[in-house]
Amino acid sequence: MLEFLKQPWPWYVAGPIIGLTVPALLLLGNKSFGISSSLRHVCAMCVPANIPFFNYNWKKEVWNLFFVFGIFLGGIIAATLLANPEPVAVHPELAKELATYGITNYDSLIPTQIMNWGQLFTLKGFLLIVVGGFMVGFGTRYAGGCTSGHAIMGISNLQLPSLIATICFMLGGFVMSNWLLPIILSL
């Protein structure tokens, strides 16, 4: 059983499991799926300031914090007990392209040649880690939710803003990975 869990799951198994989360949450508790709102709940719980954005009944949403904690715990279990000792499988064409930028180590999911403490103090590392992190956080707040909330929950509820946000996420990812990332990696 453990060997079965260690294998990558195909999209036609993992996708429906993720997709069934939406009706399960709606049917079991009239709740919506989303991860980024958990940070707002934590701030509302821990910051005693009188900021209008954080003045709401966060206790109604405590289930979301348990959900996020479960994701965190699941990640720890997967990384320790279910880790695949083999190097990450990278398509030969992608490996060839990444090698031109000095990325050749595929021992983990994170390319350690560009994502490490030493790189943080270089222009490339600052752009990827700090500016990229800020842009993800800003975009999540600006769009009113994260990719999982909009693409999984919002589109399944036929919400036009979620469709627009998801299209923008996809376009942004295309622009970043095909046009901006090669420029940044060349620095």
Contact yes or no for 63/24 (Cβ under 8 A): no
Query: Sign (positive/negative) of CA torsion 76, 81, 85, 90?
Result: negative
Contact yes or no for 33/152 (Cβ under 8 A): yes
Cα 19 to Cα 15, 94, 96, 117, 163: the distances in Å are 6, 29, 35, 36, 16
| Mean of pLDDT values over 69-97 | 88
Asked whether the predicted pLDDT for residue 6 surpasses 80, the reply is no
Q: What pLDDT is recorded for position 168?
A: 93
Confidence of residue 166 (pLDDT cuts 50, 70, 90): very high
Confidence of residue 96 (pLDDT cuts 50, 70, 90): very high
Backbone angles phi, psi at 43, to 5 degrees: -65, -40
pTM score of the predicted model: 0.77
Q: In the chain, what are the domain boundaries?
A: 1-83, 114-187
Structure-token pair, residue 53: 């954005």
